[in-house]
Structure 1
């Protein structure tokens, strides 16, 4: 990179929107798979604990490994290459999950491996993709930019589970729904290549800053350590993630308690994805208008999830799914705007990687914790996860107060 920037061929909003369309297609793939992961692994012989560990470990892989991929992107400047490789892993691994039922006793191990590899693909691409998007969204408002991107992303997250549900209903085989997700995966890669050709350097959307080094893209004189406020915010979100159950556990409960037929679990997940999109838009636009204090709603949403979603009454359980979707909408979108505002632009991918590592460690512990407490006593689960949100709220309040 140099400090001489060419005029972009696309407007910032056009780039943000097309990035959102890529995520739309990609989300059809991996959210379609995630919507059925709990019942799918159960059909291969997994217990609630195994589902919790695999899905928790998957989220951990998707997050913790960004501690490596984020700094790698900033050091090498290969944001686009890492983004494309990461998406490629998802496009390959999800359809391969369809092979698991035909492998006999090895099916569960193979299916779990594909879940983990798909999440690894997300780890590889996410810091680079978020850094690229942060550059594109800078001039339109990062709250709005991330919100619009997330809303488009969630259209795919809504459509993917419906595709899976339709294929399962049509064929009575979950593997058929997973195999069908190869189509939107290929579309995502093609669209990504188009954006790469149009805007190879996303820093063209940035305002002029201090000179950049040609090798890494990190500003000369930029601090080697990430700011303290960023670290406190990462800890706050980690505590929040520790208490936010994966949908694998929620889906397992819906099927195990005979509240929803397994074939309809993806439909419930699709509804949650629709709520997530609305939540991301609402809090993202509010972030640009009233600031980061909008994030104070997150711990309260997360604390309500186990209380509602694990109830044995269908109405309350579905209400819990809606609250879960709202919480994930804030956690996966609006929090990223504050991350970008807390760190230097040349350290964005590193910051997103470190931030995700905090969340990933919490996701691994949280997945196992939720699976264990689910079997032993749901009141204990509600209390323990609620305590995590109290810690998250205190840390977030400290960050907001320090920012003035």
Structure 2
């Protein structure tokens, strides 16, 4: 029996609450991990390597997780396992007194996210099929970023009161546990979300379509050209342009822009298609010059947040529009692996360039992002004429 649109929206909102709590947990931690790595003696290259390696391992694991999800259809159980790992890894950062230990926990947190993301995105795609995929994924990302704003604010408040990194990480156990509880409630209330899918695309389910692979290459260019916030935080600390306690606030601001951008571009995706992503790239490509080469850091973070909002919402929604439901878990796994590899190589490159030349870092960031635009235009034409 096909479930009603209202139930689908409730399902999307429940998943959004789970992600809100999860983001409050790990984004709160990430707002300080770059700074804390520097305090514990890590260099800019190490910060870039750790950030990139965590993403690469996490995204690479999604290839296996996506395949297993499709084979077993155990989307709920695998999603729960991933969130449970996050629940454990982040609070343990309070016990890290060496950068190697902190780096290991950062990678563990990324691993938990890798395990939960492909099956979670499949579940979300089912509910979003009834409310509009752009809107559904955009709403989910907006709620996601409410947590991403709240987490750094909590961390900033605790750090301001205690001046202790350990207390700032330990307080994040609360949203982690709440999120896991809501996830279990959602699983009990909607045990078969596949019933939300009412219209199945007429695609060959034996292989992924060519446009999917072109799209993966395009988004890989975008990911390689983006700078993760730990390196931005490291830069701001080294330049002493902001006090340590202000950096989480800046991150919270970027996440707030991310939330608004996700809703806006999600709406645009449902109305103008992939042009919404092209527009987001054109806006966000200028973040690196503003963050690294000027005093207009706030405006740089506005553009950075726009790009992140698009990459975390409509980028995933477009995948669901390109592949059939039976291959969606594998598609998300493959997509995440390719994107993660590009993010890792890009993060490593940005870390190395940071230690040598800010100008070259900015140039690499801008050029790599612009390389994705012709491919996105190609996909736009292909989706219009899908022969």
The TM-score normalised by the length of structure 1 is 0.92
Write out per-residue CA displacement over residues 54-79 of structure 1, whole angstroms, 9 at most, x where no aligned residue.
Answer: 01111222322111111110011110
Counterparts of residues 154-303 of structure 1 (less than 5 Å): 154-207=145-198, 222-303=204-285
Which residue of the other structure, out of 342, 348, 353, is the alignment partner of 1:362?
Answer: 342
Structure 1 partner of 2:115 = 124
Of 340-349 and 297-306, the range deviating more from structure 2: 297-306
Aligned counterparts of 1:321 and 1:375: Cα–Cα separation in 2: 21
Matched, 1:382 2:362: yes
Aligned counterparts of 1:151 and 1:54: Cα–Cα separation in 2: 27
Contact 1:62 1:119 in 2 (8 A): yes
Deviation at 1:175, TM superposition (A): 1.4
Aligned counterparts of 1:131 and 1:209: Cα–Cα separation in 2: 14
Aligned counterparts of 2:2 and 2:189: Cα–Cα separation in 1: 12
Structure 1 partner of 2:331 = 351
Aligned counterparts of 2:212 and 2:99: Cα–Cα separation in 1: 39
Deviation at 1:363, TM superposition (A): 1.0
Structure 2 partner of 1:104 = none
Contact 1:9 1:198 in 2 (8 A): no
Structure 1 partner of 2:66 = 70
Contact 1:240 1:302 in 2 (8 A): no
Counterparts of residues 36-185 of structure 1 (less than 5 Å): 36-101=32-97, 107-185=98-176
Counterparts of residues 19-34 of structure 1 (less than 5 Å): 19-34=15-30
Matched, 1:397 2:339: no
**Cα RMSD, aligned residues only:** 1.6
Question: Structure 1 segments of 4 or more deviating over 4 A?
Answer: 5-10
Contact 1:244 1:305 in 2 (8 A): no
Contact 1:244 1:302 in 2 (8 A): no
Aligned counterparts of 2:143 and 2:343: Cα–Cα separation in 1: 25
Structure 2 partner of 1:307 = 289
Deviation at 1:177, TM superposition (A): 0.8
Deviation at 1:303, TM superposition (A): 2.5
Aligned counterparts of 1:208 and 1:54: Cα–Cα separation in 2: 42
Aligned counterparts of 2:146 and 2:369: Cα–Cα separation in 1: 29
Deviation at 1:121, TM superposition (A): 0.4
**5+ residue gaps in structure 2?**
none
Contact 1:94 1:178 in 2 (8 A): yes
Structure 2 partner of 1:372 = 352
Number of positions where the alignment pairs a residue of Structure 1 with one of Structure 2 = 384
Cα 1:246–1:209 change in 2 (3 A) is: closer
Contact 1:340 1:348 in 2 (8 A): yes
Deviation at 1:222, TM superposition (A): 4.6
Contact 2:223 2:343 in 1 (8 A): yes
Which residue of the other structure, out of 307, 316, 328, is the alignment partner of 1:336?
Answer: 316
Aligned counterparts of 2:187 and 2:339: Cα–Cα separation in 1: 29
The TM-score normalised by the length of structure 2 is 0.96
Aligned counterparts of 1:238 and 1:10: Cα–Cα separation in 2: 35
Deviation at 1:312, TM superposition (A): 4.7
Aligned counterparts of 2:352 and 2:317: Cα–Cα separation in 1: 34
Aligned counterparts of 1:65 and 1:384: Cα–Cα separation in 2: 27
Write out per-residue CA displacement over residues 48-105 of structure 1, whole angstroms, 9 at most, x where no aligned residue.
Answer: 110110011112223221111111100111100110000011110000011012xxxx
Of 156-165 and 347-356, the range deviating more from structure 2: 347-356
